[in-house]
Amino acid sequence: MTDEARWREETVAPSLQRLPQRRAAFATDSGLPLRDVYLPEDADPPEKLGFPGEFPYTRGVQPTMYRGRLWTVRQYAGFGSAEDTNRRFKYLLQSGQTGLSTAFDLPTQSGYDSDAPLAEGEVGKVGVAISSLRDMETLLAGIPLDQVSTSMTINAPAAVLLAMYIVTGEQQGVQRRQLSGTVQNDVLKEYIARGLYIYPPEASMRLTTDIFAFCSREVPRWNTISISGYHIREAGSTAVQELAFTLANAVAYVQAAVAAGLDADEFGPRLSFFWNAQMDLLEEVAKFRAARRMWAHIMRERFGAKRPAAQMMRFHAQTAGASLTAQQPLNNIVRTAVEALAAVLGGAQSLHTNSYDEALALPTEDAARIALRTQQIIAEESGLANTIDPLAGSYAIEALTDEVEAQAWQYLDRIEQLGGAVAALEAGFQQREILRSAYEHQRQLESGERHLVGVNVQVMEEKQRPPLLRISPCLADERAKELAQLRQERDGRAWQRALDALGEAAGGTVNLMPPIIEAVRCRATTGEICDVLRREFGEYHPPSVL
Amino acid sequence: MTGPDRRIRVLIAKPGLDGHDRGAKVVALALRDAGMEVIYTGIKQTPEQIVQAALQEDVDVIGLSCLSGAHSTLFPRVAKLLAENDARDIVLMAGGIIPAEDVPFLEAHGVARVFGPGTSTREIVEFIREVAASA
């Protein structure tokens, strides 16, 4: 039996039984039949490529990829109040979006309530403000949590927002085991690139692994972490650095989970990744393919994972915010389309496409719709979804995939020598490397070595400005009133007992999810819960990298 | 104040909770390469902390960076605190995701210059040299 015949029998056939292809047969525009996968003509595929849905997953994690099911269209949205965002969510679901993705404002992401002094000026600005269970109920009102999966970009306070989601589900009559979604829960990249850390790394890693352990028992369909290169890239890294630093973080999480007594085969399938899709299309496709291959080797060889699902890198991709220009903003529609193509050619499981006005402000509804349509056009009209990993076998793509991988391994070795991702970031290693790349990028733009249309070439006078989204300046005051009322109305004794119990748990070693859920139930706020943990764990102070 | 022997001193600061400091750090490095003395506050600074650092470090210029949309709240507060501390001579400049419509408001509230996305660091260096020379 040829390798291909074996693959069709062992891997494709069972997959087709679970999920048939979208169509009985696929063809090009001219009617030429399109095969599910193209392979070398006169030989079995080399081991480093393998077959779709098989180790090392270079060609994709599913045996049928987009012929079975298209990627999930998952637009990141959130702004203003919970009511505002609930309306945008319903609008997106009606427009054909298939999953939700929640952006929280900076106070929420930093573990502060809307009425905290440090929240001034930030309430509802880059996402929705969620300070209490009541806010979460409003955010999800009328959205069936047993049918819609929700991704939440929340890291340092991930346990708190997950607890609120679980309790809101209970109130809708949805069991924990029916809930599906993702918490980003990747604090290491916050220290490296994004800045929304609260506690020192050791405490953060405990919270992360507590979520892993709790969900594996209670919320089995939940993706407990989205290990993110996205923000590392936005901070100015190269594609290779994005890949390497993120995989180094992933290794640290798996080590922490194994040290906490979890089995790599058990929690491995719940790990997911989040990559940036930038403008250099060929390098990006190579990066996605190399990422899958490297992760499969890491999980199998380093951590001994045997289940295929634990070796597969499933990932979300988002087009690059940093590639958007404030000049001639409509050009950004084209940039986003190119980047979305890279993500699709790279085999993403879900995708967010940015809006053209994001170098100016948060997206308006019109801009958000064009972004959504961009990926719908690729899915429905381009034919790219009709054959698996179509760039495989291209001399350029395969060479770049190997080269990106080789360079990323070198970085991983270097981080290993520095004592692993946590020790390296505490010394500022990744941060300095990223800054060096960001500065070099800027230098190239200013010297003219690198062209950016509308910025340093094809510059023109612009008279018209697009309409921008504005957040009500009254929101913070309204929120402060709501919170004051909540604090007055709740059962103060139950609230105090729950927070005391949480403090005690944090001082010990038990899993923190149950006491956090209890605190949420007793109407403790995001800020109050995080404050209890701040007292127990302390706060992180970053090294200087300049 | 800035004689030939004294290097221009600049504080680059990130007010608010925004962690996006790629721009702030790239500008800091560019100003340093242009021969200036640069202090970077790091992220998550209150206006009070920023003004205190500026006074302590005796800087000529403060560069504020904010990409979260909180600029109209936070930048005027820095300007007000500078005025209250008799430090109006410190020039305030700013950058980040700042809609053009907000620039007149910021300029009326103590920000000498707003640099939008796509600004070259040369332009910022020239601006600082000009204001330092006329101080």
In tens, the pLDDT along A274-295 reads 999 999 999 999 999 999 999 9
- C-alpha to C-alpha distance for A523 and A501, rounded to whole angstroms: 14
> What residues of B are in contact with residue A325 (Cβ under 8 Å)?
117-118
Q: What is the mean pLDDT of residues A432-443?
A: 98
Other Cβ atoms within 10 Å of A17 Cβ, number = 8
Instruction: Quote the pLDDT of residue A76.
Output: 85
pLDDT over 70 at B1, yes or no: no
Q: Which amino acid is at A542?
A: P
Burial of A314 (0-12, 13-18, 19+ CB in 10 A): buried
Tell me if ipTM is over 0.85: yes
Q: For all residues of chain B together, what is the average pLDDT?
A: 94
Q: Which residues contact A381 (CB under 8 A, 6 or more apart)?
A: none
Instruction: Quote the pLDDT of residue B4.
Output: 57
In tens, the pLDDT along B98-121 reads 998 999 999 999 999 999 999 999
In tens, the pLDDT along A151-176 reads 999 999 999 999 999 999 999 999 99
Å from A453 to nearest chain B CA?
Answer: 11
> What residues of A are in contact with residue B26 (Cβ under 8 Å)?
236, 435, 438-439, 442
Instruction: State whether residue A546 sits within 8 Å of chain B by CB.
Output: yes
> What residues of A are in contact with residue B103 (Cβ under 8 Å)?
none
Instruction: Quote the pLDDT of residue A358.
Output: 92
Pick from A84-88, A273-277, A323-327, A405-409: least confident: A84-88
**Of residues B134 and A55, more confidently modeled:** A55
Instruction: Quote the pLDDT of residue B5.
Output: 64
**Partner residue opposite B19 with nearest CB, options A195, A456, A545:** A195
Q: What is the mean pLDDT of residues A81-100?
A: 87
List beta partners, residue A275. A317
Other Cβ atoms within 10 Å of A427 Cβ, number = 14
Confidence category of residue A1, pLDDT binned at 50, 70, 90: confident
Residue indicated by tokens 């500078």: B82
Q: Two tokens at A291?
A: 């990422």
Q: What is the mean pLDDT of residues A308-336?
A: 97
Cβ–Cβ below 8 Å for B17 and A119: yes
Å from A231 to nearest chain B CA?
Answer: 9
Cα A150 to chain centroid, rounded: 12
CA B90 vs CA A205, B1, B42, B98, B111: distances in Å? 43, 11, 19, 22, 10
Other Cβ atoms within 10 Å of B15 Cβ, number = 28
Sign of CA dihedral A484, A488, A489, A493: positive
**Partner residue opposite A438 with nearest CB, options B22, B46, B68:** B22
Cβ–Cβ below 8 Å for A236 and B26: yes
> What residues of A are in contact with residue B22 (Cβ under 8 Å)?
234-236, 322, 435, 438
Instruction: Quote the pLDDT of residue A78.
Output: 85
Confidence category of residue A255, pLDDT binned at 50, 70, 90: very high
Instruction: State whether residue A361 sits within 8 Å of chain B by CB.
Output: yes
> What residues of A are in contact with residue B94 (Cβ under 8 Å)?
none
Query: Closest residue of B to A454, CA-based?
Result: B118
Q: Which of A114, A123, A125 to mutate to test the interface with B (most CBs of B within 10 A)?
A: A125
> What residues of A are in contact with residue B100 (Cβ under 8 Å)?
465
**Of residues A76 and A49, more confidently modeled:** A49
Q: Which residues contact A13 (CB under 8 A, 6 or more apart)?
A: none
Cβ–Cβ below 8 Å for B99 and A360: yes
Confidence category of residue A90, pLDDT binned at 50, 70, 90: very high
pLDDT over 80 at B135, yes or no: no
Q: What is the mean pLDDT of residues A475-492?
A: 96
- C-alpha to C-alpha distance for A309 and A311, rounded to whole angstroms: 5
Q: Two tokens at A481?
A: 């009133």
3-state secondary structure of B69: coil
A17-56 residues touching B, CB cutoff 8 A: none
- C-alpha to C-alpha distance for A207 and A201, rounded to whole angstroms: 10
**Strand ranges in A367-496 using DSSP code E only, listed in sequence order:** none
Q: State the pTM of this model.
A: 0.95
Q: Which residues contact A272 (CB under 8 A, 6 or more apart)?
A: A182, A223, A225, A226, A227, A314, A315, A316, A349
CB A222 within 8 A of CB A181: yes
A437-476 residues touching B, CB cutoff 8 A: 438-439, 442, 445-446, 452, 455-456, 465, 468, 471
CB B73 within 8 A of CB B15: no
Sign of CA dihedral A412, B25, A123, B100: negative
Instruction: State whether residue B99 sits within 8 Å of chain A by CB.
Output: yes
Q: What is the mean pLDDT of residues B71-77?
A: 96
**Partner residue opposite B26 with nearest CB, options A106, A439, A545:** A439
Instruction: Quote the pLDDT of residue A132.
Output: 97
**Strand ranges in A210-270 using DSSP code E only, listed in sequence order:** 222-223, 225-228
In tens, the pLDDT along B5-26 reads 689 999 999 999 999 999 999 9
Burial of A451 (0-12, 13-18, 19+ CB in 10 A): exposed
Residue indicated by tokens 């987009």: A66
Instruction: Quote the pLDDT of residue A142.
Output: 94
Instruction: Quote the pLDDT of residue B3.
Output: 53
A497-516 residues touching B, CB cutoff 8 A: none
pLDDT over 80 at A97, yes or no: no
For residue A317, report the phi and psi dihedrals to the nearest 5 degrees. -130, 150
List beta partners, residue A320. none
B47-66 residues touching A, CB cutoff 8 A: none
In tens, the pLDDT along A41-59 reads 988 999 999 999 999 999 9
Q: What is the mean pLDDT of residues A453-475?
A: 87
List beta partners, residue A227. A273
- Return the axis-axis angle of helices A201-218 and A158-171, rounded to nearest 10°: 20
